[in-house]
């Protein structure tokens, strides 16, 4: 798994502070922006967090590249609807020898791992068999319709892998670019940094949080699961490890390497 912060709103905290100050000032935008030092912007962003004025932080956005993550993670992360996603397509990219994500619990059990690897091998074989069978049939149809051989082959492959992909597992690796504004990210971190989040999306969320804290520390000063700066929101489903969770995210925010 690789998480990379590709780009973000320049001077995100200054942008947020300017947007917030505009709500209460008769001054022009240029005047407001020029009068904001980094220290003043940080103080203003902190005040916004204290009073719960969250809409101005939507003006700062962050774009990440995720690689080596599973299609299972894709199904979860796209539930965060206030975000933009561009995902590698299985309709256009042939998965003839796909890479896959192995859950740690499976990797730790030799017998389970063997079953898992055999399942991946069968999926590759079945995918390639289906793709070949369908491509031959589609290519013949396109040739009979009068298409040149090269074009018939290209269109047949695309049409074949569109259906062959149905045998691919959730473990199949994918890559994507996603963009969220800061307000959506805070919600994402609250839900997905929680100990009860699925292990893969939690790992992604933790790394995303680590990277945005490096460029906008005040904006994300309280970011993390609900118990980091408050009470657990999981009720009876709580992991009962609030102290350890707070210690973990305190180290992360201080740019130290936290214990997993």
Annotated binding site for dUMP: 76-79, 89-91, 165, 192
Distance CA 212, CA 61 (A): 10
Chain centroid to CA 244: 24
Binding-site residues for FAD: 55, 79-81, 181-183, 187
Catalytic residue among 71, 137, 154, 192: 192
The torsion of the CA quartet 36, 39, 44, 47, rounded to 10 degrees, works out to -170
User: Closest by alpha carbon to 164, among 139, 119, 131, 122?
Assistant: 131
Binding-site residues: 55, 76-81, 89-91, 165, 181-183, 187, 192
CA 9, 10, 14, 20 torsion-angle sign: negative
Residues 6+ apart with CB under 8 A from 212: 5, 8, 62, 182, 185, 219, 220, 223
Asked if 192 is an active-site residue, the reply is yes
Q: Quick one: which H or E segment has residue 68? A: strand 61-70
Point out the residues that are catalytic.
192
């Amino acid at each position: 798994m690789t998480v990379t912060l590709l780009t973000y709103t320049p001077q995100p905290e200054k942008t947020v502070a300017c947007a917030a100050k505009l709500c209460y000032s008769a001054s022009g935008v240029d005047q407001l922006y020029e009068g904001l030092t980094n220290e003043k912007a940080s103080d203003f962003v902190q005040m916004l967090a204290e009073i719960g004025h969250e809409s101005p932080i939507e003006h700062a956005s962050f774009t990440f590249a995720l690689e080596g993550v599973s299609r299972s993670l894709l199904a979860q992360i796209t539930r965060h609807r206030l975000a933009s996603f561009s995902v590698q397509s299985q309709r256009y990219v042939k998965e003839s020898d796909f890479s896959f994500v192995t859950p740690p619990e499976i990797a730790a059990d030799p017998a389970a791992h063997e079953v898992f690897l055999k399942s991946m091998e069968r999926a590759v074989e079945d995918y390639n068999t289906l793709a070949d069978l369908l491509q031959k049939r589609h290519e013949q149809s396109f040739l009979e319709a009068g298409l040149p051989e090269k074009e018939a082959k290209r269109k047949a492959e695309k049409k074949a892998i569109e259906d062959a992909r149905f045998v691919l597992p959730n473990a199949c690796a994918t890559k994507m670019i996603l963009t969220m504004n800061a307000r959506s990210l805070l919600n994402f971190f609250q839900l997905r940094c929680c100990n009860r989040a699925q292990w893969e999306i939690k790992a992604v969320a933790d790394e995303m949080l680590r990277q945005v804290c490096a460029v906008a520390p005040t904006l994300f000063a309280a970011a993390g699961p609900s118990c980091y700066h408050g009470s657990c929101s999981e009720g009876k489903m709580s992991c009962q490890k609030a102290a350890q969770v707070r210690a973990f995210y305190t180290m992360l925010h201080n740019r130290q390497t936290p214990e997993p």
